[in-house]
Amino acid sequence: MRFIRSAASRVIGLFVADWIQTAVILVIVAAAWYAISGLRAAPVPVLVGLVVLLAAQHIWFALSEARRDARSTPLPSPSPR
């Protein structure tokens, strides 16, 4: 049972590290899909927007995790003078 749980969490972990980031990526992809299939928008600007947004969220989430990590790491004690 533990093995199955571990395998299942491993499979989910393949795609999800941070649920919020995963949701943001899915929203970006869904928006591009809607623009192309639903609104029949010209594909090239949509594709450029898709890549720019995916790259931007990648930078944003890396920065926010680094900030979270910096806040949770205690500052070094001041050296004696």
Partner 1 sequence: MGQQLFTFGAAFLGSAVESVEALTIVLAVGLTRGWRAPLYGTVAALVSLAVLVVVFGQLIVERVPESTLKLVIGTLLLLFGLRWLHKAVLRSAGVVAMHDEEHAYRQTVSQLEGATERHDWVGFVIAFKGVFLEGIEVVFIVVAVGGTSKYFPEAVAGGILAMLVVAAIGVVVRKPLARVPENTLKYAVGIILTSLGTFWAAEGMGASWPFDFVSIFFLVAAYLAASQLAVQLVRRPALA
Site of interaction with partner 1 (CB under 8 A)? 3, 6-7, 10-11, 14-17, 21-22, 25-26, 29, 32-33, 36-37, 43-44, 46-47, 50-51, 54-56, 58-59, 61-63, 65-67, 69-70
Residues in Cβ contact with 32 at an 8 Å cutoff, skipping those fewer than 6 apart: 46, 47, 49, 50
Task: State the Cα–Cα distance between residues 48 and 80, nearest whole angstrom.
Answer: 54
**Shorter beta-carbon distance to partner 1: residue 4 or 80:** 4
> Which residues are within 8 A (CB) of 43 and not within 5 positions of it... i.e. 6 or more apart?
36
Closest distance between partner 1 and the C-beta of residue 54, in Å?
7
User: Residue 58 CB, nearest distance to partner 1 (Å)?
Assistant: 6
By beta-carbon proximity to partner 1, the closer residue of 72 and 80 is 72
Angle (deg, nearest 10), helices 19-33 and 43-72: 170
